[in-house]
Amino acid sequence: MTRHFDLAVLGTGSGNSIPTDGMASWSIAIVEPDVFGGTCLNRGCIPSKMFVHAADVARAVKTASTFNIDATFNGSNFPALRDRVFGRIDPIAASGEAYRRGQENVTVFDQPARFVAPSTLQSGEDIFTADRIVLAAGSRPFIPPIDGIEDVAHHTSDTIMRLDDLPPRLVVIGGGAVASEMGHVFDALGSRVTMLLRSDRLLTSEEPEIGRALTESFRARGLDVRSNVTASAARNVDDEVELTLSDGSTIRTDVLLLAAGRTSNGDGMSLDIGGVAVDATNRPIVDEYMRTSAGDVWALGDLESHHQDLKHIANAHAKSISHNLLHPDDLIAPVVPNQPRATFTDPEVASVGLLEAEAREAGHHVVVGRREYGGTAYGWALEDETSFAKVVVDAETRLILGAHIIGPMASILLQPLVQAMTFGQTADQVATEMVWPHPALTEVVENALLEAE
């Protein structure tokens, strides 16, 4: 007999926050074929930042002589670092699953689910229906089309942080946020890192000058960053992986990391059978309330969003959907204005809003303010020669259209600009109508705004 539920939630990242106390009387199916907590907890934001902080500490030791400090980096204990990180994370995932399984109104299915008819799902041998369905199954790493890649050992962000040992050599394919963070981590901890970029710089979705600055910074610290090159073939040679590159050269490595983007898991859910319209990338098409073409089927997070790897956006989606399920006559759209993003490399990169070129293409008369860290008192203390903050301002309205920072604490320095954009404050108001503490690093932001006059 086919079981029926009031609600089915596919995925336990941000989707796990959908069921609330207001649904205590509902029968709820939760589908999670992997570990509870999703990408952020288990393979993304949280463990990666624990590794990043360790890498930052290693970098501080390596660069201590800049500040007349005598210190020596003697290497890292990668297995102990790994065990410390996942020794905290794995129990959280396990307790999240135990909590849901312990709820009388919740049934957990541990096999992938797909539609077999409208409002009808199959998970393993189980078939069930639901009045309301939330698609929150996330995304997975994209595997680039490299000849022979399926025959060689390779890692993605799902597995790279759980290696048994620090690899002597690591090749990273990709130049986005994940690739940049992992390049920073493994270089700082002691690997010889080579990064293969399809374009001319890292972080091509950021301001070009920021991507170039990060690329040059990586090269200056010793990473082998190769631009405008791709891998065409891969093969095993003894205990190594050999890559043939588009420029005709070859390179060998102990560990290969594929970090060239992510793919929505929507392609394995037979969404068309469920009446869910998708775009060309197999992501469900949703309206402003996160509702799909199938009515009471909703979608959120990486499965749906083109703003991937942004946990805060997925959380906003989930909050909206949870409300809408309980209040079908009072729907609300997720509040996601001015979506900030940060890449935790050394140096950090953080940004919000439009790039300068995007603002001009949109028809804005733009003025730009830029301030180097080294032009402020705290920048002197940091002995910083590469970092800067840039703001893009509409010359007529004086509203901030975008902000872009590369340097120490960039993710923190960005926040007052996010707040100003959200509440409609002008560049002049933010720069002059409040007190900025001297000689704090926030003067970088203050002076960038003043430069935009």
pLDDT tens readout for residues 260-302? 999 999 999 999 999 999 998 889 999 999 999 998 999 998 8
- Residue 230: CB atoms within 10 A of its CB come to 17
How far is C-alpha 320 from the chain's CA centre? 21
Establish whether 438 is a catalytic residue: yes
- What's the length of the chain? 453
Identical fold between 149-260 and 347-451: no
Strand (E) or helix (H) holding 428: helix 427-432
Q: Walk along the chain (453 residues) and give the pLDDT tens digit of each residue.
A: 689 999 999 999 999 999 999 999 999 999 999 999 999 999 999 999 999 999 999 999 999 999 999 999 999 999 999 999 999 999 999 999 999 999 999 999 999 999 999 999 999 999 999 999 999 999 999 999 999 999 999 999 999 999 999 999 999 999 999 999 999 999 999 999 999 999 999 999 999 999 999 999 999 999 999 999 999 999 999 999 999 999 999 999 999 999 999 999 999 999 999 999 999 888 999 999 999 999 899 999 888 866 555 788 888 899 999 999 999 999 999 987 888 999 999 999 999 999 999 999 999 999 999 999 999 999 999 999 999 999 999 999 999 999 999 999 999 999 999 999 999 999 999 999 999 999 999 999 999 999 998
Strand (E) or helix (H) holding 78: helix 78-101
Q: What is the CATH number of domain 149-260?
A: 3.50.50.60
Q: Is 29 helix (H, G, I), strand (E, B) or coil?
A: strand
* Fold that domain 3-140+263-326 belongs to in CATH: FAD/NAD(P)-binding domain (3.50.50)
The residue whose two tokens read 């960039």 is: 410
Q: What DSSP designation does 437 have?
A: P
pLDDT, residue 282, reads: 85
Query: In sequence order, which ranges of 190-310 are alpha helices (DSSP H)?
Result: 208-221
The model's pTM is 0.94
C-alpha separations of 440 from 280, 437, 447 in Å = 47, 6, 12
Name the burial class of residue 75, with classes exposed (0-12), middle (13-18) and buried (19+) by CB atoms within 10 angstroms of its CB: exposed
Whether the Cβ atoms of residue 200 and residue 226 lie closer than 8 Å to each other: no
Beta carbons within 8 Å of 338's beta carbon, 6+ residues apart: 352, 353, 418, 421, 422
- The architecture that CATH gives domain 347-451 is 2-Layer Sandwich (3.30)
The residues that bridge with 370 in the sheet, in sequence order, are 390
Catalytic, out of 53, 327, 365, 438: 438
Domain residue ranges in the chain: 3-140+263-326, 149-260, 347-451
